Structure 1
Amino acid sequence: MGTKHEDGTVATRQEQKLKPPPMYQVFLLNDDFTPMEFVVAVIQEYFNKDRENATHIMLKVHREGKGMCGVFSKDIASTKVELVLTHARKAGHPLQCVMEEA
């Protein structure tokens, strides 16, 4: 027997078991070589943060070793990691970007 929705339809057992897909947090990791200003620019460009929020995240990376830039579906998180790593390498910086299941 299913659960009745407000619109009068009945949910099946399978529909009730469906969970939303896992979300992934994207982090930047601290290093001793990537300039702070470059990190702020990356956060602004790839994570759509304003300068104040980007600076706050950069300082968290600097002080705590890593800082979260956002939470995304797996495909989007993976793409953001690749874009950041590619941009950093092209600029000659060892900045690391990783994703972890939320």
Structure 2
Amino acid sequence: MGRTESPDRAVDRAIRELVQEPKRYRVILHNDNYTTMDFVVEVLRLVFHKSPVESHAIMMKIHKTGQGIVGVYSYDIAATRAARTRSLAKEGGYPLKCTIEEVS
């Protein structure tokens, strides 16, 4: 006699198949000739909760390569952190560019 799936297991399986992981978004900082390295490190610490060592390493990557991924988040978190970064840059008089892009 064949085994049949219980109704509860069938529902659980159907739900798992229907529910998708939320899309993820990269937050990217772009290098420019005016924003100070110290300001970028401070933004990484305040907005993205990076350690001082990690902040410095990310800042140097951005400086050397022109841009760097500072984190991958759900859309709402990525958009909020990017907006906060832009706001701090504007308050500080810096043209720091912060973008988000969907992870494919």
TM-score w.r.t. structure 1 length? 0.87
Tell me the residue number matched to 1:21.
Answer: 22
Are 2:77 and 1:52 equivalent residues in the alignment?
A: no
State how far apart, in whole Å, the 1-side matches of 2:32 and 2:91 are: 17
State how far apart, in whole Å, the 2-side matches of 1:90 and 1:79 are: 16
Which sections of structure 1, spanning at least 5 residues, go unmatched? Answer: none
- Please state which structure has a larger fraction of its residues in strand: 1
Residue 13 of structure 1 deviates from its aligned partner by 3.8
Which sections of structure 2, spanning at least 5 residues, go unmatched? Answer: none
Runs of 4+ in 1 over 4 A off after TM superposition: none
- Please state which structure has a larger fraction of its residues in helix: 2
Please give the root-mean-square deviation of Cα atoms over the aligned residues, in Å. Answer: 1.7
Tell me the residue number matched to 1:94.
Answer: 95
Tell me the residue number matched to 1:64.
Answer: 65
Tell me the residue number matched to 1:39.
Answer: 40
TM-score w.r.t. structure 2 length? 0.86
Higher-Rg member (1/2): 2
State how far apart, in whole Å, the 2-side matches of 1:14 and 1:68 are: 33
Residue 15 of structure 1 deviates from its aligned partner by 3.9
